[in-house]
Amino acid sequence: MQDTYGELIASLAKETDTRIVMLVMDGVGDVDNGGKGTALQQARTPNLDALAARSALGLHVPVANAVTPGSGPGHLGLFGYDPLIYQVGRGVLGALGLEFPLEKRDVAARLNFCTLDAVGNVTDRRAGRIGDDVNRRVLQKIRDNLKCPVGVEVLFETEAEHRALMVLRGDGLDENVGETDPQTLGVPPLSPVRPPHENSRTAKIVDDVLKQVHKILADEPKANMILARGYAKYPAWPTFAQRTKLNPAAVAGYPMYRGVARLVGMSVAATPTTAKDVCIEAGKAMANHTFVFAHFKYTDKTGEDGDLAAKIQRIEEMDAALPHLLAARPDVLLVTGDHSTPPSMKAHSWHPVPVLLAGPHLRGGDGRHFDEVSCRSGQIGTIPACHLIALALTHAGKLEKFGA
């Protein structure tokens, strides 16, 4: 599949000194919560609302209408890479976020520690969000007891809380492995060798590894099994800088988001987690970079936890921190999310994501509030996520005219 639009933007892009910041409030989109309003509508956001009054608003579709995106496709779209063309499993993103030295023959997978009941059904897909210390201890237990298949190394690294990385290293491995996370409770993990993966040598290796892990962790009270998904090998893609003529940097506290940034060639300038620190570090990164991707995780995490009040609180924290970023005076500022995560669903959803663009050459401001309802009638309209970076580029004076 040819990326005609991406290639067009790459051909028009030019270097200038103007600065673009993309502030991603992960999973910020919501539904109306039984008529009470979305989290953005219910939150007190005087700074975002004041910015909305002089900015362009709209919505973006991360992948395609009615398609629920993962975090990887969601961010690739924001970076201008059509997720239907540029596909990679989350394992590679996690590995890059951890600065794991992937080799060409490696297959990486994202792991969640989970809790199984006595009959083998999943009762908690995140093992109670165990701490990093428990994660490291349990991974070492696996390393000490796992018997690797002949000719294959199996490597593990802690990511954060219940999340970890597994890398298979050997000749002839591929990505043809079934994901084992059932994405629901009360059922057993899925088989990595289920059709159409039943003839895959790599899937059979994973099946053996997971059966061993089940026995090794049988006496653990919470993290007594792993769920594996996002199997992937490192792809060869054009970098973000090559496509946009920007000098990019990422400001992201969580490894996965540093991983997707590194995947497209962004350097990591800082690793903050709080809203205030994200905004401060993004402002600092502008001094040496013409594009800054700033990531805030907790609007997504609270949505996945089903905690509407906490999601509202996290939005308000970012609103209070926003002046630290505005003080750095980006020429163009995009505020958006990679997907929606309604607390009522406790999961990512397909709903279009609100977008705010502050910069020159607008047709006035679009409204008094930054929320889903205001955004759906804004001048940006509803557009593919992979068009957003081009919109920022053209408002920053970084795209040449097309044609004579």
In DSSP terms, which residues pair with 56 in a beta bridge? 357
Q: Per-domain residue ranges for the chain?
A: 13-87+237-395, 94-232
Percent of the chain with pLDDT over 70: 100
- Assigned fold of 94-232: Alpha-Beta Plaits (3.30.70)
| Coil, strand or helix at 153 | strand
From the number of C-beta atoms within 10 Å of its C-beta (0-12, 13-18, 19+), residue 389 rates as: buried
Query: Tell me: the pLDDT tens digits for 289-306?
Result: 999 999 999 999 999 999
Domain 13-87+237-395 -> CATH class: alpha beta
Give the pLDDT confidence score for residue 338 in this predicted structure: 98
CB distance 181 to 227 below 8 Å? yes
| Coil, strand or helix at 244 | helix
- Residue 34, pLDDT above cutoff 90: yes
Chain-wide mean pLDDT for the chain? 95
CB distance 391 to 362 below 8 Å? no
- Residue 150, pLDDT above cutoff 90: no
β strands within 117-224, DSSP E: 122-124, 153-160, 163-169
Query: Tell me: the pLDDT tens digits for 159-216?
Result: 889 999 999 999 999 999 999 999 999 999 999 999 999 999 999 999 999 999 999 9
